[in-house]
């Protein structure tokens, strides 16, 4: 097991290098003038030239990349010209909001998806199953920003139950959590339902029924526990993605999280901020995916046996 963990951590280093190089090169293709984004359009030619030198734009792209990576290895993630503060401090201050969004969205998704998946699997082929499948398709097709805008229109502007922008109390996280959580629900329902349908046809469950166990115990105690891996896999991947910054949702609701930081940094062609956030995001995703693999091993001994080879 320890060899497997070390191997995954080693691979994560190469992933971080690849992500950083790709992001840096893509930022170079941005049509936004990063100098103007910092000093404004009213700056003099001398001020423009000085900022151009400060950003090392007189050097080749590859030199600037390796210069950034050299500073990163020394623990310096750079200074955000968009937010006027250190990138690490910026990420650390904004990340709790993204964590709050991720946890609340995961709770919403789980509370909706698990009951729907169980009902659809037990009543497979019936009206309820078709309705759940249709809801899943709608959830997949509806863009997050559209769902968020509709929720704001109804529950904020019309009914006045929630604030439409900002994050000042737990109530301000309700609509964003529903926006992200309902989008996740569709994928979780589809995968969990398919796994449950497959498990419910197994012979050992027929034997459990023959022994007199109620259908409720058969489904919830035996079938669901053996269909958890797809649920854990999909939910864990969605948690990793949301922790990296739900850009559209945070932008729509003006949540001061990592997603909003990324959006504003991209608009200003701020590679230092984007690079720092993406590298930290990649590290978090790599660790979460490793943790998911270890959870798989705890849930299914057959997977653990493969890891220990």
pLDDT value at position 208?
A: 64
pLDDT value at position 120?
A: 78
Inside any domain, residue 180: yes
- Contact in structure between 176 and 101 (CB atoms under 8 Å): yes
- Contact in structure between 28 and 61 (CB atoms under 8 Å): yes
How far apart, in Å, are the Cα atoms of 187 and each of 131, 180, 194, 247?
Answer: 15, 12, 11, 19
pLDDT value at position 203?
A: 67
pTM of this prediction? Answer: 0.75
pLDDT value at position 297?
A: 66
Domain total in the chain: 1
Domain of 157 in residue numbering reads as 88-307
Inside any domain, residue 194: yes
pLDDT value at position 303?
A: 57
Q: Which of 241, 275, 259, 262 is nearest to 25 (CA)?
A: 275
Could you give the angle at the alpha carbon of 101 between the alpha carbons of 96 and 106, nearest 5°? 125
Q: What is the CATH number of the domain that holds 280?
A: 1.10.3720.10
Inside any domain, residue 178: yes
Query: Average pLDDT per run of 10 along the chain, which is 309 residues long?
Result: 70 79 76 68 75 76 83 82 85 87 86 81 74 73 77 81 74 82 79 75 66 66 69 77 73 83 82 83 79 69 56
pLDDT value at position 30?
A: 67
pLDDT value at position 161?
A: 80
Inside any domain, residue 25: no
pLDDT value at position 298?
A: 67
Inside any domain, residue 188: yes
Q: Which of 216, 139, 141, 148 is nearest to 177 (CA)?
A: 148
Inside any domain, residue 71: no
Inside any domain, residue 56: no
pLDDT value at position 231?
A: 78
Inside any domain, residue 67: no
pLDDT value at position 230?
A: 75
pLDDT value at position 213?
A: 64
């Amino acid at each position: 097991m320890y060899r497997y963990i070390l191997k995954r951590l080693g691979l994560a280093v190469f992933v971080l290098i690849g992500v950083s190089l790709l992001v840096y090169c893509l930022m170079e293709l941005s049509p936004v003038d990063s100098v103007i984004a910092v000093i404004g359009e009213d700056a003099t030619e001398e001020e423009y030239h000085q900022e151009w030198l400060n950003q090392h734009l007189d050097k080749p792209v590859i030199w600037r990349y390796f210069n950034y990576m050299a500073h990163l290895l020394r623990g310096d993630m750079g200074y955000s010209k968009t937010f006027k503060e250190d990138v690490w401090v910026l990420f650390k201050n904004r990340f709790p909001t993204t964590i709050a969004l991720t946890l609340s969205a995961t709770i919403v998704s789980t509370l909706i998806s698990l009951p729907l998946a169980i009902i659809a699997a037990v009543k497979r082929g019936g009206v309820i199953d078709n309705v759940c499948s249709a809801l899943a398709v709608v959830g997949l097709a509806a863009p997050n920003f559209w769902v968020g805008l509709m929720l704001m229109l109804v529950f904020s502007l019309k009914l006045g139950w929630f604030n439409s922008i900002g994050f000042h109390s737990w109530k301000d996280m309700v609509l964003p959590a529903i926006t992200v959580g309902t989008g996740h629900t569709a994928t979780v329902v589809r995968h969990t339902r398919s796994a449950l349908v497959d498990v419910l046809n197994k012979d050992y469950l027929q034997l459990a029924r023959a022994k007199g166990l109620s259908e409720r115990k058969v489904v919830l105690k035996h079938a669901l526990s053996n269909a958890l891996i797809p649920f854990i896999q999909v939910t864990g991947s969605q948690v990793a993605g949301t922790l990296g910054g739900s850009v559209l949702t945070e932008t729509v609701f003006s949540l001061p999280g990592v997603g909003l930081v990324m959006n504003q940094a991209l608009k200003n062609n701020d590679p230092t901020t984007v690079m720092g956030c993406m590298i930290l995001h990649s590290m978090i995703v790599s660790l979460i995916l490793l943790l998911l693999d270890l959870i798989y091993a705890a849930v299914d001994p057959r997977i653990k046996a493969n890891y220990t080879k």
